[in-house]
Amino acid sequence: MGVFSRISDIVNSNINAILDKAQDPEKIIRMIIQEMEDTLVEVRSSAVKTIAEQKQLERRIAALSADQAEWEGKAELALSKDREDLAKAALQVKSRLGQEIEALQKRHGQVEADLVKQSEDVAVLQQKLADAKSREALLIARHKTAANRLRLRSSIYDEPVTDAFARFEQVEKSLDILEGKAEVYELGKSKGAIDELAALEADHQIDTELAALKAKMGKTE
């Protein structure tokens, strides 16, 4: 296992505190720097994938928006030919496309937030790396003079922190089981009335949009 197990370890790290456990300060500092460099590469690689997904989502949203406009045009054509049934069907397709666009836009927002976080991580990692390299010699010297005191601090604090996290994880597991017992009673409950109401609401929305389209085209009952 490396010096850092997660990006947050680096972001929140204090290099002097990390050296508390070091038997060979020169070796541990080189490991720290190497871990930072490797993590920086991983974060940048992840950011590249995030940017690619962002662009794919944007292309898909644009394509679906164009499809929406096309189906509205089809609805207008159907009404101009007195085919209200076809106009309504076209508007239903347009509505489904709108739902898909909404879902993609939500994902796009999540991807944008991820990209912002990755950008922040890169900036912090670069700063930490530069700091580690510039302070390498000084840290080695300081560590040699304070090795005994730092090892003592390590032995005092490590075990209680580990025990605290173990107890915290046990509480989380207990809560997961309790929540699962509560949720199992919801399984199998009928959703017929909910589904029917959702269908009525969707049909009402289509009828409302159809009426608006008729008004736009000057058609009356």
Q: Looking at this protein, which amino acid is placed at residue 204? A: H
Question: Residue 76 falls within a domain, yes or no?
Answer: yes
CB-based contact 79:219 (threshold 8 Å): yes
Burial 197-212 (b: 16+ CB within 10 A, else e): eeeeeeeeebeebbee
* pTM score over 0.75: no
Domain membership flag for residue 166: no
Give the other-Cβ count within 10 Å of 188's Cβ. 6
Contact 1, 118 (CB under 8 A): no
Domain that holds residue 54: 7-160
User: Phi and psi for 185 in degrees, rounded to 5?
Assistant: -70, -15
Separation of alpha carbons 116 and 110, rounded Å: 10
* Lowest mean pLDDT, pick from 57-61, 173-177, 180-184, 198-202: 180-184
Residue 24 DSSP class: S
79: closest CA among 91, 92, 95?
A: 91
- Residue 56 in domain: yes
Nearest to 38 by CA among 87, 3, 64, 63: 3
* pLDDT tens column, 161-177: 566 556 657 767 776 67
Residue 214 located in a structural domain:
no
Task: Give the pLDDT of residue 133.
Answer: 81
Query: Per the domain annotation, does 192 fall within a domain?
Result: no
> Does residue 189 form part of some domain?
no
What radius of gyration do the chain's Cα atoms show? 30
Residue 194 lies inside a defined structural domain of this protein? no
Give tens-digit pLDDT for 85-137: 999 999 999 999 999 999 999 999 999 999 998 888 888 888 888 887 877 77
Burial of 99 (0-12, 13-18, 19+ CB in 10 A): exposed
Higher-confidence residue: 205 or 95? Answer: 95
Total structural domains in the chain?
1
Residue 206 located in a structural domain = no
